[in-house]
Structure 1
C-alpha cells in the first residue's frame, strides 16, 4: 500500500501521461455462446447480456489507484547490460471524463511517471494487471517529454492477470524501425517480444496466450463421433497440400491420432479474436447461432410441420421476400423479438419469416434468366475472375489421359458458328472474341463420387462470343459425366445450344443451371475460401512471429489482417467442417475442402495480383502505353476495369511507403526480420509449395513492393469482390443454385415430359431444395453484411498515430483521397449507358469495388481485411 501511495502522490518531477482502456466487451462472443437456458441459446444470450452489462458497465472507477501498474523503458539509455533502463513502477490515477478523442466504451485515466532526465527518452513500457479479469488496453500517451515532446503508444491489446504470462507484457512507442536501425537499448526487448509470440511449439494453447504457430487442417472432421465424419488431413503432403492454419494444440482424436479433437471454443492468439468491438460480435454471434440453432429449427419446421420440402413455382421462391414463410408462433416468438435477428429475419406481424429481396431481382423478376445476364455475371458477378480467353479449339483438358481418358471437348465449329454473326471460329480466336468458362478439370475426377450421393452433376464447359456491342453471348454448353464402364474410357458428353422457345428453351435453362452450380461451388470453396481466407492466414502467423510491431512492414500489413484468423476459426467450426453449412448445402458435399486442396496445387502467389491474373487468363495483353501496363480485351469488364484502378492506388501507396524505409535493395537483403518472415512463410506457412520457383526471393525493393501489393489486394479488394455480392446475386437461389439433384432429362423419359409441361417444377426439383435454400440465404446474408465498425481501405483504426513518421502518414492520406476519386469515377462508369455490362438486364450497377460503404447489406465497400 505504501508503494501505491508513493506512486500516486509523491510526484516531484514527473512525466504526465494518459491511459485509455476498455473493460471486457459486454457482447463477448465466447460469453454469449456459452450460455444455455430453458429458453434456448437465444434467450440465454439475451439474459447474459443484461447480467454482463450490469456487472461491468460504469465500474471504471474500480481501476482507480489499484491493480494496474506501468514501468517505462528507455530507448536511449541502457542499464549497463545493453538493455534499456527500466523506470519505477507507477499506477493509474484519476478518471478523465472529458477527453474528446475517447471512443465507445473507452475510459481514460491520468498517470504520472518518475523519470529522471538521465533516463533519456522512453521507447517502451511494461504493464502488470493484478486483477482477476482482463481489459483491453487502447493506448498510452506521454506529454511534454523533455527534449522530445509527445510520445504515443498505440496498444490495442488484451491484458490478462500478470500470473498468466511467462514474460512481461511490453508495448512499444509508435516509432518505426527496420531491425538495423533499432535504438540499441530496445534491441533486446524487440527480440524477446518476438520470441514470446513464437512460443515453443508445444502444449495446448490457452485463451490468454498470444502465441502464433502453424498447423495443418486436421480439425475438420469428428471421427470419434461417427466414421462418416472423418475427413482427410489437408496440408503436409503433396497429394493434399494446403496453406497452414493457426495451431491450437488440442488433443488428438482416439480413432485418428493425426486428427485434432473439436470443441466450440477454438484458440486464437488473444488479439486476433473478436470481443474488442461490439458489431463484430453481433455478426459472428448471428452466424454461429444461426448455424447451430436457428437453421435446424427452420429445417424441422419446413419439413415436418409445414410438410413443404420443395418449391413448386418460381413464385414460391419470390414469396421468401414478398410474403414470407408462415411459421408456427412458438418458433417465430424465439426468433423475431431478438434484436440480433430483427434484420436477419423480418416478421410482418402475420407470423411470417421474410428475407430482404436480393438486388438481382429488385428491378426485374425474370431478367436473371436471359443469356446476356448469365454471361455478364462471369465478368461482373460474384465470381468474376474465372473466365478465360479461348486460344485453342476444341478446348483440351490437362487431366491424365491414362487415368481419365480423352477429355478433349466435343464442342464443334458447327455448334458455334451459326450464332457468331458470320464470324468463323478461326477468325474469332484470331481477334480475341472467343472465351470459355471452364469448370471441367477440377470437378471431373470427383464426379463419380459426388454422383453416388443424392446429388447429380456434370463437369461443364461454356463457350462465349464477344459481340460488337461489348457484351458476351453464350454459344454452347458441354455437360460431361464419367463413362459407365470406367474413367479410362473418358467422359460421356453432350452439347447444348441456346434456344428461346419450347422444351429446348427449358433444356437450355437447365444447362445454364448446371454451369452456375459448378461456378457457385468453385466460387465458395476456391475463389472465396481458399484464395482469400485460407491463403492469407499463414502471412498473419509469419508476420507476428518474425516482424516486430515496430517494423515498417508489420505496420503496413496490420490493418489487412484484422479479424481474419477469427473468422477462419469460426468457418472451421460451423461452415467448412464435416457436415457443416457448406458440405450440407453445396454440390461438392463431403469432398468440398478436399477438392479445394487439389486446386491449391496450382496456386501461384505471384499470379494473385490483378494484372497478372488478367494476363494469365488471356483477357488482357501487355500494353506499355496503358497506365496499368496492360489492356483489357473485353473493354467493358467491370471487375477488371474497376479493379485496375484500385490495384494501381494500392501499389502506388505501397511503393511510396517501402521506398521511404528502404533506401536500397541491400537494405531489403540485410533486414533480418524480413528475411526470417519470408523464409518461414514460404517454407512453413505455404510449405507444401515451398519448392515452387515462382516465389519472390525477397532481395529487392521491387519484390517487396509486389509482394505487399498482392497481399493487400487479396485481403481487401479481391475478398470484397467475391464476398459482398453473395446475397445480392445468390440470395435468389434460382440465379445462383448451389446443388443439382437430377440429371438432364432425356427424350422419352417421364422427366422430359414433365419438363415440357412444367419447366419451373423440373427446374426447382433439379436445383437446391427448399431447406438448403433457407440455410444458404440465412448464412450468406450474414456474410454479405458490413459491420458498423468496419475499417475500409484507406482507413486505420489508429488514426494518424500508427507511426510517428510524417511522410508515410501524408502518403496514406493521399491514398485515401485517391480512393475517393476512384469511387466517383466508378459511379460515372455506371451511369454510362454505352457500357452495357455495368448494369445488365437486371439493372444492377456493379458497385462491389466502390471503396466506401455504410453498414449492412450494401453491395459495395472494400474493407481492409477479410473480417467476415
Structure 2
C-alpha cells in the first residue's frame, strides 16, 4: 500500500463550510484511487484539514481529483466552497488542485492539477476528456441571451439568484448591497420626499436636502458648480473623461466666429485652433433620440456641442455652447458673455446630456456590458486549466450578478431609468445600440484613445496620466504571462480554445461589426497581449474611472440632472431662476437619483483591489512572481499618485490602484 497526504483548504468566505460528507478520488496517469470518505475532515470557513488516502500502488503523475459532497441524514444540504486541495505523493511530489467554486450535493466535481495547459499541451486522454466535460457543463450554465437589437448579448438568466453559485455575490457582498439599496433613501434622510412630484422652489431647498449626506468633493462641487472652470474640468477628470477631443477646425454645424468669443491676450479663435488650444465635446450620439416621459410629462434631451479653450495659464474654459446639432435661428450659440441664466441654463442642459452619455455609454456599455461579454465568453470557452482563464478569472468577479441587478433595478421596465430619467424607455436601447456601433477597438485601449483624441499634452489631465501608467504596468504583466506560455505566433494560432474565445466576443459582444476593429482571431503574440490587456483594463481601471466619482459629481443634482422638464431655450434673454427651476428635475426624481448614485458609489467590505489575488489559480513560480511584481509596481504608483494629490485642490483618486477593484462588481 502507498499513502497520499491530502490537505483540503476551505474558502475563507461566508457560508463556505459544510457539515455534509465529503469524498475524494485521486486520478493519475497510471490509475485511480477508490472514492474515499474524508471522515475526519473539518470544513469550517477558512479551515485546513489533512487526510490520508491509501492505494495498492502508485497512481503515477496525478492529473485530476474528483470531489463528491453527500448530504448527511438529518443534516441540511449546504454548498461547500473549497479553495484548493494539495496532495503529497509517495514519491514526495506535491500537486496543487485549484477549486475555487461551490460544490453541491449530488454532483461530482472534477479539478485539474494546477499547472496551466493549453489544449495542444494535453498528453493524456483523461485530460482531454476532463477539458471537454468542463466546457460542456459551462456552455449549459452560461448561455447567451439577446437583450435588445443592436445591444451586446448577456448571460441567459432570470435574475441574479438563477446564476451559477460561483458567480453570485458572496453572502457578505449580498447582505451589504441589499441593505444599502433598501436603506438608501433613509440613509440620505430623503424618504419623505420620494413621492413629492413638485418642482424645487429654490436652490437653497436642494442644498438643505443635499447636506444630509455629502462627501468632501460633492460639497466642493455644490459650492463651485456654477463656475466655468469646474464645468470644463469635469470633461478631463470627472466621471466621463472619454468625450473631449482636440480640434483644429470647427465642425460645419457649429458656426462659432472669431467675433463671438473673447480670447485672452489679443488672440482669436482662428489662431487658437491652429495652435491646438481648442477642444470639443460633441453629443451627436444622442441626436434624434426622443426623450422618455416621466410621471405623464414629456421630458427633453439635447445634443450639445461644447467648445473649450486652453488659456495661457493652462486653465480650460468653455467659450461656446450650441444645444442642438443643426444650426438655426431657434438654436442660438450661448456664450459666457450672455446673461447669467442664459449661460447657466445652457451649461445645465449640457450636464444633463452628460448624465446620459456617461451612464449609458461610458459606464454601462463600455464597462459593465463589455465586462460581462468578456466574462461569459471566458467561462464558456476556456477551462480552468487554461493559462488565460487563470489570468482573467479574477477580473470577472461579481460582474454577472451586478449586471443582472442592473437589468432589473436600473434599466428594466420598472427600473430607475424608466421611472426617473429622460433616457429611459425606448430611448435607452436606441442609445445603447447607437453607442455600440460607434465603439472601436482603439477607443478601448487608452494609449490609442488618447492619441486619436489628440490629448497627449493637455495639462492637468490626471485621468490620462494615471491611466497610461496603469496600462503600461498592466501590459508589462500581461506580456510576461503570455510570453511564458506562448513562445511563438504559431502556438497562438494553434490554440483553438483561444480562437473560439475571441470569436465569441466578436460575435456576441460586438455583433460581428467589422468596423469596430475588434479582432476576429489571434495570429500573433503581440495581438493577444494587447487584447488581454484591454480586457483587464476595461474590467478594472476603466470601470473605476467612470464609476467612483458618481456621487462626488452627481450628488448635487443641478450639476448632474437625470432629466430636463422643459425644452432648451430657443432665444436668448428668456431664462431666469424661475425657468431654471422649472426645467430641473422635480423633488422625487432628484432624491431617487441621489439614492442610486449613493448606492453605486459604496465600497463593499469584500472589495478586492487591483493586483490582489486572494485565490491562487497559478501554481507555477514564474506567473506567481509576475503577480507579485505587478502588485509591487501598482503599490509604487499609488504612492506617486498620493504624493501628487497632496498638491491638488481637487485630488484625482479614481485611478489610484488602492481604490480600483479587480472587476466590475458595483
Give your verdict on TM over 0.5. yes
**Which secondary structure state, in structure 1, belongs to the residue aligned with residue 324 of structure 2?**
strand
2:440–2:517: 8 Å Cα contact kept in structure 1?
A: no
* Matching of residue 428 in structure 1 with residue 428 in structure 2: no
Q: Which residue of 2 aligns with 1:730?
A: 554
Matches within 5 A, 1:368-447: 368-393=225-250, 395-396=251-252, 408-416=253-261, 418-439=262-283, 441-447=284-290
Task: After TM superposition, list the pairs within 5 Å mapping 1:502-521 onto structure 2.
Answer: 504-521=339-356
TM-superposed CA distance for 1:391, in Å, is 2.8
Which structure has the higher relative contact order (CA within 8 Å, separation 6+)? 2
Is contact 1:72–1:87 with CA below 8 Å preserved after alignment? yes
| Residues 364 and 549 (structure 1), Cα distance of their counterparts in 2 relative to 1, 3 Å cut | closer
RMSD, aligned α-carbons:
2.9
- Structure 1 residue 410: Cα displacement: 3.4
Match of 2:447 in 1: 611
Q: Which residue of 2 aligns with 1:214?
A: 144
How far apart are 1:453 and its partner, in Å? 4.6
Q: Which residue of 1 aligns with 2:313?
A: 469
C-alpha contact 2:221 2:553 (8 A) present in aligned 1: no
Give distance in 2, aligned partners of 1:597 and 1:862. Answer: 28
Partner of 2:64: 124
In the TM superposition, what are the counterparts of 1:75-474 in structure 2 within 5 Å? Answer: 76-77=29-30, 85-95=31-41, 105-131=45-71, 133-162=77-106, 165=107, 168-184=108-124, 185-199=126-140, 211-217=141-147, 234-235=148-149, 241-248=150-157, 267-275=162-170, 277-278=171-172, 280-286=173-179, 289=182, 301-302=192-193, 309-322=198-211, 354-355=212-213, 357-363=214-220, 365-393=222-250, 395-396=251-252, 408-416=253-261, 418-439=262-283, 441-447=284-290, 453-474=297-318
| Matched-pair contact (CA < 8 Å) for 2:160–2:404 | no
Alpha-carbon distance between aligned partners in 2 of 1:544 and 1:746, rounded to the nearest angstrom: 52
C-alpha distance in structure 1 between counterparts of 2:70 and 2:37, whole Å: 11
> How far apart in 1 are the matches of 2:232 and 2:84?
54
How many residues get paired?
659
- Residue in 2 aligned with 1:721? 545
Question: 1:686: Cα distance to partner?
Answer: 3.0
Asked whether the 8 Å contact 1:372–1:473 carries over to 2, the reply is: yes
Structure 2 counterpart SS, 1:737: coil
Q: CA deviation at 1:443?
A: 1.6
TM-score, normalised to structure 1's length? 0.71
Matches within 5 A, 1:610-649: 610-619=446-455, 632-649=456-473
2:10: which partner in 1?
21
Structure 1 residue matching 2:4: 3-state secondary structure: strand
Note if contact 1:475-1:497 (Cα within 8 Å) is conserved in structure 2: yes
Q: Distance in 2 between matches of 1:514 and 1:363?
A: 21
State whether residues 331 and 571 of structure 2, in contact with CA within 8 Å, keep that contact through their aligned partners in structure 1.
no
Q: Does 1:593 align with 2:429?
A: yes
State whether residues 24 and 134 of structure 1, in contact with CA within 8 Å, keep that contact through their aligned partners in structure 2.
Answer: no
Gaps of 5+ in 2: none
Check 1:366–1:449 CA distance in 2 against 1; reply closer, same or farther (3 A cut).
closer
How far apart are residue 570 of structure 1 and its match? 0.8
Q: Is 1:823 the counterpart of 2:638 in the alignment? A: yes
Which residue, 6, 10, 27 being the options, matches 1:73?
A: 27
SS of structure 2 residue aligned to 1:635: coil
Task: Deviation per CA, 1:22-56: give whole Å up to 9, x if none.
Answer: 69956xxxxxxxxxxxxxxxxxxxxxxxxxxxxxx
TM-score computed with the length of structure 2 as normaliser: 0.92
- Give the Cα–Cα distance (whole angstroms) in 2 for the partners of residues 606 and 748 of structure 1: 40
- Alignment-derived partner of residue 782 in structure 1: 599
Correspondence for 2:564: 740
- 1:540 aligns with 375
**Structure 1 position 448, deviation (Å):** 7.0
* Residues 72 and 86, structure 1, Cα contact 8 Å, conserved in 2: yes
Q: Distance in 1 between matches of 2:594 and 2:402?
A: 19
Report what 2:324 is aligned to. 480
Tell me the CA shift for residue 288 of structure 1: 5.0
Separation in 2 of the partners of 1:762 and 1:826?
43
| Larger radius of gyration between Structure 1 and Structure 2 | 1
Deviations 1:502-551 (A, max 9, x none): x8112211111000100111100110000111112122121111111111
Superposed counterparts of 1:555-566, under 5 Å: 555-566=390-401
Aligned partners of 1:24 and 1:367: how far apart in 2?
Answer: 44
Cα shift readout 1:200-223 (whole Å, capped 9, x = no counterpart)? xxxxxxxxxxx1121110xxxxxx
